[in-house]
Chain A
Amino acid sequence: MKLTRHDRIGLVSFTLPGLILFLLFFIIPVGYVLVVSLFKWDGMTEAVFVGFDNYASIWKTSVFRRSLTNNLVWALVATCVQVPLAVLMALILNERPRGWKLFRTVYYFPQVISGVALAMLWSAVYNSEYGLLNGILKLLGRADLAKNWLGTLQTAFPAVLIYWVFYIGYYMVIVMSDLSGISKDYYEAADIDGAGKIRQAFAISLPLARNGIMTCVTLAAVMSLRQFEQVYLLTNGGPANRTSTMVLYLYKQIQNMRYGLANAASVMLIIVGIIVIVGIRQLFKLWHAAYE
């Protein structure tokens, strides 16, 4: 259909509201953090142009470096442990074992429960006085292992990190949708050729679900870099900044009115995000290439 004048007016009136909001809440804010990260500014006095000084100062603080490392470890665990577990469970539930729909529903629960509620739940699990985890250890006769999980230097970060790893529902559903689209003919042919289940998973299921898997790996990495609520509510970055993340660092700079530093941290977060996303795409391109 060729566009008439009436269509053109329609197109403008229908796209403009959404595009203005996109401009206001995506493009301008990203441009804003880029620019303001080059200024020293406390929100009240005149901003002073300082070039890359903010980047140099955040890089010098050990809290920021610790936060960045924590985020990267988090992303690594999410992409290399959480997503593979989700893929494994997708393969298993795709075989339609008894009650698979019920299990799919249950695995997805944590995704619809708010981060705040989950954080409060797990802070109760880890509580040193009446917590579930210490209770289990006592039941097993290992009361000596019971401790204040979130307050101990060695266990705080693993404790904050680990409870998420086994919440696999979101990624599992994405991969399952790819798996269910694969024609049964491939598996029947493989059966006739005598290929076992594991061989079939590696030769048929995984390659044909690679788009879904790439989506999951990307989302898992991106979400790990955004982490804020859990650490803010469970430990507020403590003990001794062991559990800090980039967003928590930036939030604390806002509270201290150091907007230049906060925005430099924002830009770092965006840049690290872009590097990670591009890196993942490149890796998956190699995998794609192997099948073309």
Chain B
Amino acid sequence: MTTIKQTFRQASGHKRFTPANLFKWLLIVFFAFYTLFPLLWLIVSSFKTNTELFGNPFALPEVWQFVNYQNAFRVSGMLMMMGNSIFIALSATLLNVVLASMLAYCLSRFTFKGNGAIFTMFSAGILVPLNALMVPYFITITSIGLYNTRAGLILLYAATGIPMSTVIIRGLMEGISREIEEAAYIDGCGFYGRFTRIVFPLSRNGIMTAATFQFITCWNEFVFANLLTSSQNIRTIQLGIRYFTNQFSTDFVSMYAAIVISIVPSILLYMIFQNQIITGLSSGAVKG
């Protein structure tokens, strides 16, 4: 009985044409189109000449101008900025997840005074509008001599991401069975050994999730990179594409090429770590 019903339902789900079905597909296609069309337009435009761009914004390029991409790399010091971004985002992510997983280990495995309070503070910390703290961050970073350095951004990114990463990793550590640890404890494995040999390796999925979020946030960060650096040789890619506007003044197509180049790594990373991101959002960790 149920199988007949299910078969019927499956068949009707796909093939039956109803106004509700039409409406559903209109919505699905609309949102996909809305997300993709401007992006595709930007990519196609980045292969045109400036004259073609001004002529007809929808026409395909007569000859695909790969030279725009060469210009983007040549004019703007693109490679150096990418290098800076990769170095800063990787270091900040590493520092962040190491500190956060140490904290998460303590919070998920031990009952001690202040455990709950730390968790509450961190959950609230996720919602603090960091942009409102520009003045104190500027003063702190300047006073410890890290203004206009990569280290300054690394420290700031790692620190401001701690609440989020700790809450994500703690959530996933909670789900790991304690039996192995208890056996190890009886065998004389201490506080540090249980972390490095058991909890850390077992929770690597949760740690990868936190790391993915942290890396994408660092890679895309603009406000503090803008506030805390001034010289060209430590600029990140996000600052770079902002200043392309000045450098390329009227060469719009090369500017578009530069923007496309800056987007590619984020999209690639997302495609690779998509499952981690979905788990992260599903784990309830962001539900501060």
Contact = CB atoms under 8 A, between A and B. Distances in A.
Q: Are A and B co-members of a single complex?
A: yes
B38 A122 contact: yes
B34 interface: yes
B222 A115 contact: yes
Interface string B192-232: 10010000000000000000000010011011000000000
Interface in A71-99: 88-89, 92-93, 95, 97-98
A29 B141 CA distance: 12
Interface stretch (A17-25, A44-52, A59-67): A17-25
Contact of B286 (A107, A174, A233, A259): A174
B132 interface: yes
B267 interface: yes
B241 A25 contact: no
Nearest to A29: B136
Contacts of B13: 95, 97
A225 B190 contact: no
A228 B270 CA distance: 24
Contacts of A156: none
A117 B241 contact: yes
A92 B238 contact: no
B134 A254 contact: yes
A183 interface: no
A25 B160 CA distance: 7
From B133, B163, B255, residue with most partner A Cβ within 10 Å:
B133
Nearest to A266: B132
B106 A29 contact: no
Given A117-B241, A211-B287, A247-B132, A132 B35 contact: no
Interface stretch (B51-59, B61-69, B74-82): B51-59
Contact of B282 (A15, A177, A247): A177
Given A10-B190, A112-B216, A263 B135 contact: yes
Q: Which of under 10, 10 to 19, 20 to 34, or 35 or more describes the interface residues of A?
A: 35 or more
Interface in A199-236: 211-212, 214-215, 218-219, 222, 225-226, 228-229, 233
B105 interface: yes
B135 A226 contact: no
Contacts of B162: 18, 21-22, 25
B170 to A, nearest CB: 12
A250 B132 contact: yes
B107 to A, nearest CB: 8
Contacts of A131: 57
Contacts of A9: 191
B103 A14 contact: yes
B159 interface: yes
Contacts of B158: 21
A129 B57 CA distance: 10
A136 B122 CA distance: 47
B231 to A, nearest CB: 19
Contacts of B160: 25-26
A55 interface: no
Given A25-B137, A116-B222, A18 B32 contact: no
A74 B242 CA distance: 24
Q: Which of under 10, 10 to 19, 20 to 34, or 35 or more describes the interface residues of B?
A: 35 or more
Contacts of A24: 140, 159
A114 B262 contact: yes
A17 B102 contact: yes
A10 B263 contact: no
Contact of B156 (A25, A214, A229): A25
Contacts of A93: 28
A166 B24 contact: no
Interface in A216-270: 218-219, 222, 225-226, 228-229, 233, 247, 250-251, 254, 259, 262-263, 265-267, 269-270
B57 A132 contact: yes
Given A98-B14, A254-B135, A18 B269 contact: no
Contacts of A88: 27
A106 B35 contact: yes
B151 interface: no
Interface in B1-38: 13-14, 20, 24-25, 27-28, 31-32, 34-36, 38
A142 interface: no
Nearest to A223: B129
Interface string B91-131: 00000000110110110001010000010011001011111
A229 B267 contact: no
Given A108-B277, A168-B31, A266-B132, 6 more contacts: A28-B140, A109-B39, A117-B262, A124-B256, A166-B35, A250-B134
